[in-house]
Amino acid sequence: MTYRKTTMSMAKLAIAFSLGLTSVVAIAKPGKRDETPASATVIEHVTIVPMTETGGVIADATVVIENGRITSLNGVAPKGAKRLNGKGKWLIPGLTDMHVHLPSDGLPRPPKYPTEAPTFFFDTQDIMTPYIANGVTQLLNLDAVAASVGQRNEIASGKILGPSIALAAVINGAEGRGRIANTPADGRQTVRNIKAEGYDFVKVYSDLNVDTFIAIVEEANRQGMKVLGHIPESFEGQLEKAFVPGFAMVAHAEEFSKQSANFTDEDAKRFARLAKQNGTWVSPTLVTMRWIASETRSLDEMKANPNLKYMHPLLQSKWTTANRYNRNSSPKLIDYFDRMVEFHRRLVKAFKAEGVPIVAGSDALTSGVVGGFSLHEELELMVGVGLSSEEALATATRLPAIWLGVDGDRGTIEVGKRADLVLLNANPLENISNISKIAGVSVDGRWLDRAALDARMADLAKRNEATKADFDFGKIGK
């Protein structure tokens, strides 16, 4: 037995307790602290890709995970620990998707009456399982609502196995649902509301006017919140005005390409310089535009995607029967999106050349973009543009942790960091597609091997298939 009577914080104890680890439960009993073994997992003879700034790999390492933390990279297995043979395998930090949308209770339609509770509910575990199965242990939800806070908490409490979630609440202008601000005063008040309601970040959207946008960023700075999102259309022809300090991330390459008449390399360079000068990061979401272009042409590829079965049947129905890209298709639109896909490749090259930090976001929940899988695809697309495999991995590990302000806690493999880890059967630095060859995932120290991941995914697909007939978007979604 190994004892850890002094190092386990109360917070960690609470987490361990909620995970239902019987060996840890005893710790919570008064007087039993000294008798309780730590819950340890050890991965032996593994090659670590730590993704620290210095790079490189650590060969033949012994990674010790105790109480959800990495406690050693060259240790000996504590007695009673779960021991895994990592020979021939590669260990990377858990991946982050910096741009997702998550289904949440209340969707697809708002309540009819002010006091009505939602009438449609998503199973949080079913939303999260594909992320975990793909090694995605952290998400930035760019469309957070009250129900999203509940989702985050269900995971943090250990009731649901899922990624850590950061929450960005949206402010838009003009008219419509959600938080709307059309004056600087309203913009500032809305930022304060978002802060008070417990969200982490402010997302700005396309219909904000210039003055309100700038007031929002200023107020968010004052409140200590980063702003990310779209570049409002009101900045057309005066793009540089949007790059004010505190506008910390542009959420799509498309936000730039919309500001370019002819998709020239000069424009790409100019955009990269604007971002660089302002310290603004970019999440290009190449995979989003790749799927939008495909669906505008035809739904065949999307329908044939073997990962579609992991989406909730209502969303499958929406994507296949009410696909807005396909519905509005025209030769002109197909051509436009194809040219955008191509321009975005040049844009990412320009960002890289200028030294603009790039983070991986997949805009999951856009039609055809299946969360978890889509992040792997985004990294493959980035390598296709000219990032090295290590640079691509950094966009989904170390760099997101820095942007989110959690780099002291995760994003790299180092002693003391949270045990969010992915064990791969092949070297991801040699071929980025090897991130899909997952042997196991550690989520906050909770270990799931391939069989456990497969079982969860098979169960999800089976239940989705069985309930397909009950979820017709044409009837429920209206």
Least distance to Zn ion, CB of residue 203, Å? 9
Least distance to Zn ion, CB of residue 101, Å? 5
Adjacent-strand bridge partners of 83: 42
Q: In 10 A of CB 189, how many CB atoms?
A: 15
C-alpha 269/C-alpha 351 separation (Å) is 8
C-alpha 99/C-alpha 143 separation (Å) is 9
Query: Nearest to Zn ion by Cβ — which residue?
Result: 363
Least distance to Zn ion, CB of residue 347, Å? 17
CB nearer to Zn ion: pick between 15 and 286: 286
Strands (E) in 393-467, as ranges, are 421-424, 438-443, 446-449
Q: Are residues 398 and 412 in contact, defined by beta-carbon separation less than 8 angstroms?
A: yes
C-alpha 168/C-alpha 177 separation (Å) is 16
CB nearer to Zn ion: pick between 126 and 363: 363
CB nearer to Zn ion: pick between 207 and 363: 363
CB nearer to Zn ion: pick between 200 and 363: 363
Task: Please enumerate, as own/partner, the contacts of 313-317 that have beta carbons within 8 Å and a separation of 24 or more.
Answer: 313/464, 313/467, 313/468, 313/470, 313/471, 314/108, 314/471, 314/473, 314/476, 314/477, 315/103, 315/365, 315/473, 316/464, 316/468, 316/471, 317/468, 317/471, 317/472, 317/473, 317/474, 317/477
Interface contacts to Zn ion, rule CB under 5 A: 142, 363
CB nearer to Zn ion: pick between 379 and 461: 379
CB nearer to Zn ion: pick between 194 and 249: 249
Q: Are residues 367 and 319 in contact, defined by beta-carbon separation less than 8 angstroms?
A: yes
CB nearer to Zn ion: pick between 143 and 219: 143
CB nearer to Zn ion: pick between 95 and 443: 95
Tokens of 31: 């007087």
Least distance to Zn ion, CB of residue 458, Å? 29
Least distance to Zn ion, CB of residue 363, Å? 4
Cα-based torsion angle of the residue sequence 271, 276, 281, 284 in order, rounded to the nearest 10 degrees: 30
Least distance to Zn ion, CB of residue 426, Å? 31
- Find the helix or strand (DSSP H, E) in which 383 lies: helix 373-385
User: Which DSSP category does 3 fall into?
Assistant: B
Q: 């995607």: which residue's tokens?
A: 305
Reply yes or no: is the peptide bond before residue 108 cis, omega within 30 of 0.
Answer: yes
CB nearer to Zn ion: pick between 91 and 142: 142
C-alpha 22/C-alpha 33 separation (Å) is 13
Least distance to Zn ion, CB of residue 177, Å? 16
Least distance to Zn ion, CB of residue 143, Å? 7
Least distance to Zn ion, CB of residue 468, Å? 26
